[in-house]
Amino acid sequence: MERGTPQLKDLMLEVSKESFILTNNLCHYFLENSNIIDKLMPKFKPGFWYKKRDSKSQWVSFDTYAELKSNLKGYLEESEEEYISVFRSRRGEWGEWYEHWELGGNGRPKIIKQGWQ
């Protein structure tokens, strides 16, 4: 077939239609099965780097974010730093989320900054 012939144009149009249909079907599949995204995402335990007075920095991780939050106050009180940077994933989201925590005026941990890593 020569360039610009009606047969070549028809063939290219047919290939484009098939590609569109395949892409469209894949998109619908992922939207209908949104829990598959959670299975494809890398999972890691929430945690933070922590430096206690007169010691080396160490990585502290927890099985769940709720467990991390319940233990955070003690680490903030013992920390040499003003705040602790928590790193975690969020359900249904890609990437790594960070939060900077410090002790508030009432002695309870509070987030002072957060965003995507």
Each residue's pLDDT, cut to its tens digit, for the chain (117 residues) gives 555 666 656 656 665 666 656 565 555 565 665 555 555 555 678 999 888 877 888 889 999 999 999 999 999 998 888 899 999 887 777 778 899 999 998 989 999 999 886
CA 66 to mean position of chain CA atoms: 17
Cα 83 from Cα 77, distance rounded (Å)? 10
pLDDT at 71: 94
Tell me if 97 sits within 8 A of 116, measured CB to CB.
yes
Residue 44: predicted pLDDT: 74
Do 98 and 115 touch, CB atoms closer than 8 A?
Answer: yes
Neighbours of 80 (CB within 10 A): 11
pLDDT at 57: 85
